[in-house]
Amino acid sequence: MTPPGATPAAQTSSHEEEKQPENEDITMGNTTTATTTTTTTTTKPNNSNKPKKGRELMTCTIRAPPFAYAQLAVVSDTSSSTTDDLDALQVRAYCTSALRQFLGDTGAGMAVDILSVTGSSCWVRVPRADLGAFAAALTAFGGVSSTNSGGGGAKAAMLVLQVRACGDWLGSLIGRAEQGALWTS
């Protein structure tokens, strides 16, 4: 988010950073804040005689961030069973088995960092070039069967991993997750 008094050059850099050619954020559409910024750029006349309110110190355009981020959630296919809370070891086990099944040894060697685990969802980080393969591997994952402690003889529910969000910029992903929680809670 740029301050109001920023010059057009700095706003151009934020406009570029929203328009990633290959890895666009997949969940719900563009944030309104970003589009407002770009329309301001195009309609403001570039009048160099007017004294500028702010002074641009540095412009930086990040074209290729090193990592991509994803939010995963464990869901059960039957509505009755309650999913236990996740922990980091379970996330690591699920991810490794999904990647190994889909991509073999090279997949099992992919560098996946688990950033945080809360409730039944977690945030992970992968190298940017591997995001497509990682998301495909988790989508193709058949799931694991959960062990139901109560009700002898009840059939085990399948727990599958769901990719809630994935993209290059962690801040906007978290913002969208919180934004979605506003409407659903």
Structure tokens at 8: 């057009």
Burial track 38-47 (b if 16+ CB lie within 10 A, e otherwise): eeebeeeeee
- The yes or no reply on residue 132 touching other proteins (CB under 8 A) is yes
Tell me if residue 126 falls in helix, strand or coil.
strand
**Judged by CB, which is closer to other proteins: 110, or 158?**
110
DSSP string, 127-172: EGGGHHHHHHHHHH---EEPPPSSSTTPPPPEEEEEEEEEES-HHH
**Judged by CB, which is closer to other proteins: 136, or 158?**
136
- The yes or no reply on residue 133 touching other proteins (CB under 8 A) is yes
Using the contact rule CB under 8 A, the part of the chain among 1-9, 54-62, 136-144, 165-173 near other proteins is: 136-144
Q: Answer for the pair 54, 157: CB distance below 8 angstroms, yes or no.
A: no
Using the contact rule CB under 8 A, the part of the chain among 40-48, 84-92, 126-134, 170-178 near other proteins is: 126-134
Exactly one of 7, 13, 97, 101 binds other proteins (CB under 8 A); which one?
Answer: 101
- The yes or no reply on residue 130 touching other proteins (CB under 8 A) is yes
- The yes or no reply on residue 107 touching other proteins (CB under 8 A) is yes
Residue-level length of the chain = 185
**Residue numbers at the binding site for other proteins (CB under 8 A):** 99-107, 129-130, 132-133, 136-137, 140
